[in-house]
Amino acid sequence: MEDAQPLVPGQTKLVKAKTRRGKRYLEARAPKAIEDAKRALFLYGNQTSQVIKDVLTDLFQLKRLEGQKFTRKNENVRPFETGGETSLEFYCNRSNCPLFVLGSHSKKRPHNLVLGRMFDFRLYDALELGVDDFKAIKDFGAAGTAAQMGNKPCIIFVGEKFESVPALALAKSLLLDFFRGEQVDRINLAGIDRVVMAVAVDDTRLQLRQYAIRFKKSGTRIPRVVLTEMGPHMGLSVRRYRLPPSDMQQEAMRQPKLGKKKQKNVSSDLLDGKVGRIYMPKQNMDTLGLSKYKGTKRERRDSAREAAEARKRPKSAEQQATAPAEE
């Protein structure tokens, strides 16, 4: 796969595949009008705590089909420091993960959780959260295994702070990208078996809950819906956040023009199909070069031969007598 390496950040040379396998690899990672489900990279910082390990384990369990988890510590991964995003961009590029979840623990920032995104495998934005209250999925018993892996959840955001506060608006966008999965046009309602709820308590605190959906008998055709908490149960506080640069945001929000390009003087008809209108300038038939058929060429040759034979014939006596008079 050496011939199918993708572009690294800052590289301007276009890498072309030399094998069919490398071509398929590059096509899978190429930009698309409708993107695939975003993969997430889970990794640890220099120091961690047992709470952060349990948080990353539960989040990875929710994102197992579109995620990758590192088990070793990473000292040089610091998204909020200058130059600290280089190693993170390299890991995300190698793993093909535009999302990342970084867990760390220190005396200044205990139980620290960082959510972030990449654009073109460059750090786009990041949000630092502190885990104040946590209850793992395994603590809810059988309710924690009620949902089936791979199903799309119903995501609910409660509170007007998600629209007015920049940090919580960024948290809403990140959580939507994290839990949304693959974009689809239609969905079977029977496949929605869990609800992810985010509640904005105030400007700097939010709560994250997940509930399993159970259908009970109601005596009618519409069942009675019962929500049972299944975990993870988290209380989060906003610490630091990093918004994307304006030029990168403008580039990331650019969308291709879908649909066929309108053609001038071309329409469609149910009977004739594609119908076009052509405008021709005025033409002079005398000077217009037309194709000559073989029949017309033969007639010209015969007339030319008869004229030549007539000039070669001797003149009669009457023609010789009248010739001086005409002169």
pLDDT in tens, 15-55: 788 899 988 888 887 777 777 889 999 999 999 999 999 99
From residue 126, alpha-carbon distances to 208, 213, 277, 315 in Å are 18, 31, 55, 110
Task: Provide DSSP, 277-299.
Answer: --------TTT---PPPHHHHHH
Long-range contact pairs involving 267-271 (C-beta distance under 8 Å, separation at least 24): none
Whether the per-residue pLDDT at 201 is higher than 90: the answer is yes
Return the CA Rg of the chain.
38
Separation CA 162–CA 109 (nearest Å): 24
Q: Is the pTM of this model over 0.75?
A: no
From residue 252, alpha-carbon distances to 103, 249, 256 in Å are 26, 5, 11
Q: Is the peptide bond before 232 cis (omega within 30 degrees of 0)?
A: yes
Task: Label residue 270 left, alpha or beta by phi (over 0 means left) and psi (-120 to 50 means alpha).
Answer: alpha
- How much is the mean pLDDT over the chain? 85
Strand stretches in the chain, DSSP E = 40-44, 67-73, 99-104, 112-119, 122-135, 154-158, 194-200, 205-216, 224-229, 233-242, 266-269, 273-276
Which domains are assigned to the chain? 31-244 (3.40.50.10480)
Burial class of residue 307 (count of CB atoms within 10 Å of its CB; 0-12, 13-18, 19+): exposed
pLDDT digits (tens, 9 = 90+) for 46-104: 999 999 999 999 999 999 889 999 999 998 899 999 888 999 999 999 999 999 999 99
Q: Which residue has the tokens 């384990």?
A: 57
From residue 16, alpha-carbon distances to 1, 22, 35 in Å are 12, 8, 22
Whether the per-residue pLDDT at 274 is higher than 90: the answer is no
Selection from 172, 162, 154 nearest residue 203 by Cα: 162
Q: Which residue has the higher pLDDT, 87 or 263?
A: 87
pLDDT for res 307: 84
